[in-house]
Structure 1
């Protein structure tokens, strides 16, 4: 924690901040917070970041944001909360800033867990940090392969239930009878083959987190019992009469459009609203192109054992960043594992990659007007021209942001605000 004056100068710092950023245990008093944490010469908002002080100054209330700070250990995700201190006449005289390092995700290559630095990844991670301390059910939405189980594990580890178990239930491919038995357990003799009492996964998850993966595949008949479990916190084993008390945090995930399934009568509306108390959309890899070098380094660190570490050359990395990755992280990991087998000299080159990655990228998406994107970036106020220019752009997101004169985070917010084509 630190105390700042309205000009961003650090007035006081606790021992944890001094250990992180001080020299010989001394706090960097008299320096500006953005110089210490980011290495910037300007406040965060002038460098394209969200500045909590500016927001708190405008609203005269606390503000919270996820930043990447440059620490002696390297870049780290940090949850920043800033509160203004008001004087006798209502003027802001100082600010108190609390900084918590996010342990569940890495901003540098890592051998395990969530990895990313892009704006899209940061948005999902910030939502995760918001909801983790609560007991709200969380619904993870995203395409197949976007890392929903990794996010569920990170949510569990950041929650007060981190000391309990994380129980994963794969809802796809389970019949109605088997699903009920797996989830709630069964008594001896409940059905043919039930030769002993068996506790269910709900019971196994006591004190921890129950993760229902691919919740969209749950049969309608079971959805009724699942809704009762969530609303009452009670259940009965198959073949049993005793009502048992459940104690778990619910996290669900799906790649299916649950709202469309509700409209089609394929998913219960009441269950959907119980599950979607806090929805978090995970970005596909094509929206995280700038994370690909970081992810590749991380995959190369994993499963190495005693083998020498591999490297990837720039042309091969450029091909990976140009691919649209319909299989997302799972597809990228498989491509890297395949390329590892062909890198006889310890270097992954373009020749080590699958043939489909060597093909040139397709032109603008189908349905766009038959025009070419202009070389000169359009006005940011012209949605139609900006949408066309973005569709025809063939560089990375970082290069796109540079061409438009924006930071990557600002670009991501601007792209999300574009209206779709009619």
Structure 2
């Protein structure tokens, strides 16, 4: 619903600008009619976008028609504003005719929305939002390792035991399999914190920058992040020399990043049991970097259900009996992928507990024989079920680089 909601809000802002302009040229009845239609459709979009009765195909078709109608009205008004600025004319007969047609198109969509609203039994937006916020709480992100206790113990053993020479330990698995979560649990484990003199973390990502990677690592040891790459390399090397360190290089996509970092000259090997952990989805990277690879697999049925319940329900509540069959269907379609289970569970935690809504979510998770497609399909739910007013904001975030901090003032 992002396109329709954004078009309606933009149209409403234009109407507000014209209304407040000293050379305001709309007829009062004409303005109020269009304003009321736009306001109704915005409220409708908020409630319809979150309703369990909204089928995905129907919702997308309705969104397209509302977006087109709003865009037509917006273009008519903006053309009139430009014409008035350039020519100094109040209005033209052409504008009045175009505006009448645009208003009729908007009113037609209002009537369609009214029919859909009555058929779906939608709540008023204010009632819907207040009830959900008062009864549900947004779950905090967790570093829980449900179903991976043995793998965590294996990683801890590789970190603390073994040869004194510096060891590189790859953690390999597909996207969403909980590689970063495993590394984070080990990184924050009391035994690890006590064993190593210093622990450093840097996120590599696909579009990496050596300067930014060095800056992340230096900030962990409170070193200066200014200067050239060579100066930062030397500063980091001296900061680590003689210390037993743990360094996590998260999300390395290829070997080029490893070679560009020139790790051997960057992290000193003083034979004191230092470790470097690399998370990657690339098997070639893990095979090349070390003989002690930690391979991440999928969760079994029992652990998948446990992880889902942990994210979808309060600790003492558990799954309501009337939802259990549908809930297990949802979990099965996640195919043991932790990220997919956490995403859909987190969404359902703050959603209505009506069976029809949960059935709609289950149908939204389309079956696929390809696990990557299945993961993308499930993760897309985190966007699809966002409130209408947050979708344009979410899409705007795509303009920012991956794995970088986004400051509020940059998106206002």
TM-score by length of 1: 0.41
Higher relative contact order (CA 8 A, sep 6+): 2
Q: Which has the higher strand share?
A: 1
Q: Larger Rg: 1 or 2?
A: 2
| TM-score normalised according to structure 2 size | 0.41
